[in-house]
Amino acid sequence: MLNTNNGKVYAPHIQNKGARQNARYNNGAEKGWLTASEQAQLQDARAADRATLNAAKSDGVVDHKERAQLRQDMRQTNRELTKFLWNGDVA
For the segment 30-45, what is each residue's pLDDT rounded down to a tens digit?
A: 999 999 999 999 999 9
Contacts of 79 (CB under 8 A, 6+ apart): none
The reported pLDDT for the residue numbered 60 is 77
The reported pLDDT for the residue numbered 30 is 94
Local confidence band at 3 (pLDDT 50, 70, 90 cut-offs): low
**What pLDDT digit, counting tens, does each position of 64-74 carry?**
998 899 999 99
- Annotated domain spans of the chain: 2-86
Query: Which pTM was predicted?
Result: 0.81
Counting beta carbons within 10 angstroms of the beta carbon of residue 28, is it exposed (0 to 12), middle (13 to 18) or buried (19 or more)? buried
Whether the predicted pLDDT of 86 surpasses 80? yes
Which amino acid does the sequence have at 24?
R
